[in-house]
């Protein structure tokens, strides 16, 4: 798992599918939701709806389509020109919202991570990712979505557990499908992960985060010159190579301290820091608190 960056990140952060919701609607309607620190999926089981992002970007979601939403605010609507209302009250008293009928049926799920650890995941993923039903690599998404829809319809004992596990797999398969696309969706960290050379470097980092990595050694793993690797990595990932290593090391360390059972010195060593003092300074610069403050919480 450590050599698989996506699995490594989701595992370290304790990412699990939390609350799941269902919406049934008909007629003219529009709901708006604020930007929050979360990763969410929306999947269409029946019919079509629109999802609108800030700046006027609109995507039509049809039956079988799935999208992933990061920090951004968004609207869902029967048509782009419908004036929205606050969508949050519709889910305040339950996980099912009904608006006028069931011409469209959509399900959603929100990914939860350990407190204070969402930033890394949200920083490396785009704010919006779309997986159309017909996209290459989406066959697994379609299979899981069909199973999830059937499980919801069955409404039998144990259904919540089964639905949660299927939603966990749906999340991973949707990210995989986005990474495999060549239409611009697979840019950034996802694109780097799928790139033969940059992907090797990312897998090496996640396989051994404590190794004393340098730009030169990572460039060697990628089979590129130092300058070309550094430029390509920063352009695709959004971090310089060593900034990425440092940020992931500190995220791993914070996750370990939140789990408990380890002293700060051991956590610092596992994260690749030669001294507890250097670790403490880097940690406070990154998170604004000392490692001791995290342990005490």
CATH number at residue 28: 2.60.120.10
Residue 190 falls within a domain, yes or no? no
The tens digit of pLDDT for each residue in 64-106 reads 999 999 999 999 999 999 999 999 999 988 889 999 999 999 9
Domain that holds residue 243: 195-296
**Are 251 and 207 members of one domain?**
yes
Is the distance from CB of 255 to CB of 114 less than 8 angstroms? yes
**Are 103 and 232 members of one domain?**
no
How many C-alpha atoms does 134 have within 13 Å on its Cβ side? Answer: 2
Mean pLDDT of 99-128: 88
**What is the DSSP annotation of 108-163?**
EEEEE-STT-HHHHHHHS-SEEEE-TTSTT-HHHHHHHHHHHHHHHH--TTHHHHH
pTM for this model (two decimals): 0.84
Task: Tell me how many domains the chain contains.
Answer: 2
The tens digit of pLDDT for each residue in 215-266 reads 999 999 999 999 999 999 999 998 999 999 999 999 999 998 888 777 899 9
Measured CA to CA, the distance from residue 142 to residue 149 in angstroms comes to 10
Residue 176 falls within a domain, yes or no? yes
- Is the pLDDT score of 123 beyond 60? yes
**Are 160 and 215 members of one domain?**
no
**Are 103 and 223 members of one domain?**
no
The pLDDT assigned to 185 comes to 45
**Are 152 and 24 members of one domain?**
yes
Q: What is the mean pLDDT of the chain?
A: 87
Q: Bridge-partner residues for 98, per DSSP?
A: 24
**Are 20 and 136 members of one domain?**
yes
Measured CA to CA, the distance from residue 84 to residue 72 in angstroms comes to 16
Structure tokens at 133: 């039903």
Mean pLDDT of 156-176: 81
The pLDDT assigned to 85 comes to 96
**Are 33 and 75 members of one domain?**
yes
**Are 72 and 128 members of one domain?**
yes
CATH number at residue 248: 1.10.10.60
Measured CA to CA, the distance from residue 239 to residue 94 in angstroms comes to 40
Measured CA to CA, the distance from residue 284 to residue 74 in angstroms comes to 33
**Are 28 and 129 members of one domain?**
yes
**Are 60 and 93 members of one domain?**
yes
Measured CA to CA, the distance from residue 157 to residue 175 in angstroms comes to 30
**pLDDT confidence of 181, banded at 50, 70, 90?**
low
């Amino acid at each position: 798992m450590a050599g698989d960056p996506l699995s490594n990140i989701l595992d370290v952060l304790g990412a699990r599918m939390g609350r799941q919701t269902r919406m049934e609607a008909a007629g003219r309607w529009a709901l708006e939701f604020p930007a929050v620190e979360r990763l969410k999926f929306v999947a269409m089981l029946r019919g079509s709806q629109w999802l609108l992002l800030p700046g006027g970007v609109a995507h039509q979601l049809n039956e079988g389509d799935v999208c992933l939403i990061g920090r951004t605010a968004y609207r869902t609507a029967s048509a782009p020109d419908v004036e929205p209302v606050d969508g949050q009250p519709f889910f305040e008293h339950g996980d099912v919202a009904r608006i006028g009928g069931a011409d469209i049926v959509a399900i959603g799920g929100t990914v939860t991570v350990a407190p204070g650890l969402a930033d890394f995941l949200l920083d490396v993923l785009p704010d919006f990712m779309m997986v159309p039903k017909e996209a290459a690599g989406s066959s697994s998404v379609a299979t899981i979505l069909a199973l999830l829809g059937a499980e919801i319809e069955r409404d039998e004992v144990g259904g919540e557990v089964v639905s949660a596990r299927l939603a966990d797999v749906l999340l991973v398969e949707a990210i995989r499908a986005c990474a495999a696309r060549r239409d611009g969706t697979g840019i950034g960290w996802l694109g780097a992960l799928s790139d033969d050379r940059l992907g090797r470097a990312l897998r090496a980092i996640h396989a051994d985060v404590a190794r004393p990595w340098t730009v030169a050694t990572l460039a060697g793993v990628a089979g590129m010159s130092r300058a070309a690797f550094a430029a390509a990595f920063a352009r695709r990932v959004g971090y310089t190579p060593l900034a990425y290593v440092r940020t992931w090391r500190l995220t791993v360390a914070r996750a370990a301290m939140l789990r408990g059972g380890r002293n700060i010195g051991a956590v610092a060593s596992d994260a690749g820091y030669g001294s507890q003092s250097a670790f403490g300074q880097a940690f406070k610069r990154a998170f604004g608190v000392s490692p001791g403050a995290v342990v005490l919480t």
